[in-house]
Amino acid sequence: MTDGQEDGMDRHLRAVPPPMRPGPKPEDDPGARMATLLERTALGDGAAYEELYGLVAGSVFGLALRIVRDRDMAEDVAQEALVEVWRRAARFDRQAGSARAWILTIAHRRAVDRVRSEQAHTTRLQTHAAVTDVDHEGPEDVVDTMHGEWQAARVKAGLQQLTERQREALDLCFYKGFTHREAAHALDIPLGTCKARIRDGLIKLRDALGVER
């Protein structure tokens, strides 16, 4: 190749733009990935929900804790919010906002509702205490109160005889209003396992309380 040809080749190479670097894939974007997981969750994809749960559980708990200011209560609120995410995932629309914002909105609403509920409960207790101070209980009222406290003590003692897993399942279904399926998702166990824990726990509790079959 002559010098002239080499110069022409150099000019040609300089005129060719450098190859474009490939941009990030949509799934490399955490926001897009979270939206995809939420959409797959809406289709009943348990693996997608588990991955989504791992991505947002910390943020959901942190938000709940800032609002309710009680760690145990915040854990309950976070669990309730994440169960609601599973149940309502089909309502998510990525055109309306990010998946994280949608999930944290659910958590915020749950936390605010819990604070309002606790405040209303406290107000009812204070009102009841004020009325009790004025209207002294008669003998029958005292007996009813003592009987109720005795029954509550029996139930509490019976619950202590259950396994921790049985108490968890019963607490979700009978005190927090979860369905069996919701409790199974919250505890991350198969539905059949959840039902078995509830059944066995109720049998053991019934035996402990001496309830006739």
Q: What is the pLDDT of residue 147?
A: 42
- The pTM score is 0.49
Domains and CATH numbers, the chain: 29-136 (1.10.1740.10), 137-213 (1.10.10.10)
Instruction: Work out the average pLDDT over 162-191.
Output: 78
In Å, what is the CA distance from 94 to each residue of 26, 70, 91, 148, 191?
Answer: 13, 32, 10, 51, 30
What is the chain's alpha carbon radius of gyration, rounded to the nearest angstrom? 29
Q: What is the pLDDT of residue 155?
A: 59
Give the position of tokens 């709940």: 64
Q: How far apart are CA 156 and CA 212, in angstroms?
A: 19
Q: pLDDT per residue over 8-25, tens digit each?
A: 545 544 544 455 455 445
Q: Write down how long the chain is.
A: 213
Q: Which of 73, 71, 81 is nearest to 104 (CA)?
A: 81
Proportion of the chain above pLDDT 70, given as a percent: 63
Proportion of the chain above pLDDT 90, given as a percent: 29
Q: pLDDT per residue over 102-161, tens digit each?
A: 999 999 999 998 888 887 766 665 665 554 454 444 444 544 444 445 455 555 666 777
**Assigned token pair, 181:** 């399926």
* Cβ-based neighbour number of residue 38 at 10 Å: 25
Q: What is the pLDDT of residue 82?
A: 92
Say which range, 74-83, 89-98, 106-115, 182-191, has the weakest mean pLDDT.
Answer: 182-191
Is 149:195 a contact under the CB 8 Å cutoff? no
Q: How far, rounded to the nearest angstrom, does the alpha carbon of residue 86 sit from its chain's CA centroid? A: 9
Q: Is the pLDDT of residue 90 over 80?
A: yes
